[in-house]
Amino acid sequence: MALKTKVKVGNITNLSDARYCAGMGVDLLGFSVSGPEGISIEKFKEINGWITGPELVIEIDSEENAEALIEQFYGNHLELDLALLSSLSNLKDRSLIVRVELDNWRKIAEQLLPFKSQIKYLLIKEVLDTSIKTLKDAAQHYDLLLEYDGKAELEDLLDLPMTGLALKGGNELKPGLKEYDQISSVLEKLEATD
């Protein structure tokens, strides 16, 4: 299945989400390995033994244990907030996805500059609060993934300067039992109709 744009689904914590998204043609699967909702690196590796296709992203949401998690890195990209960039010492040679809000683009651009060669994507949070001019400027320097939370019209987001969309997975009701209403409705709208 081909999608109209690149899609990353993050916050994946279970095999059901991972397999569903891989089957629907999602390009990037993100797994939170820190914070209260995070899974262990071992569970991440176990889940990924069952899927093929998408690029794998380790999502680090807090500074706690971040250095150790990066040392155990297994996947294609590390995703973290801009605030964590300067506090971590072992990011050399890692492909990065950096989560940012573009409320002060000039300052953010300066903070990103030392890592520019490593940054694969900027994941833009709070897209509705960002001006088109700022998005266009950021898109001249980086590939942008726009966070989609269902508040904006999907078609409006597709008209913005971007490389793709970032969605979030959810928890299973119980192992193997999962509802995909929100993710499936977005992915179905993104199906390319050639």
Cα–Cα distances (Å) from 151 to 19, 81, 118, in that order, read 26, 22, 31
Rounded to whole angstroms, the Cα distance separating 81 from 101 reads 10
The encoded tokens of residue 160 equal 């913005």
Note whether 99 and 123 are within 8 A (CB): yes
Q: Is a pLDDT exceeding 60 seen at residue 175?
A: no
Q: What is the pLDDT of residues 20-69, one digit of tens each?
A: 999 999 999 999 888 777 888 889 889 988 999 999 999 988 887 788 88
Rounded to whole angstroms, the Cα distance separating 80 from 96 reads 8
Rounded to whole angstroms, the Cα distance separating 31 from 184 reads 19
What does DSSP assign to residue 72? T
The band of 181, judged by pLDDT with boundaries at 50, 70 and 90, is low
Note whether 29 and 50 are within 8 A (CB): no
What pTM value is reported for the model? 0.89
* Residues whose CB is less than 8 angstroms from the CB of residue 163 and which lie 6 or more positions away in sequence, other chains included: 5, 6, 121, 143, 144, 145
For the chain, which domains are there?
6-190 (3.20.20.70)
Q: Alpha carbon 64 to chain centroid distance? A: 20
Q: Is a pLDDT exceeding 60 seen at residue 174?
A: no
- What is the DSSP annotation of 118-154? TEEEEEES-GGGS-HHHHHHHHHHS-EEEE--SSS-H
Q: Is a pLDDT exceeding 50 seen at residue 173?
A: no
The band of 171, judged by pLDDT with boundaries at 50, 70 and 90, is low
Rounded to whole angstroms, the Cα distance separating 168 from 156 reads 19
Q: What is the pLDDT of residues 82-137, one digit of tens each?
A: 998 888 877 888 899 999 998 899 999 999 999 999 999 999 998 878 888 999 99
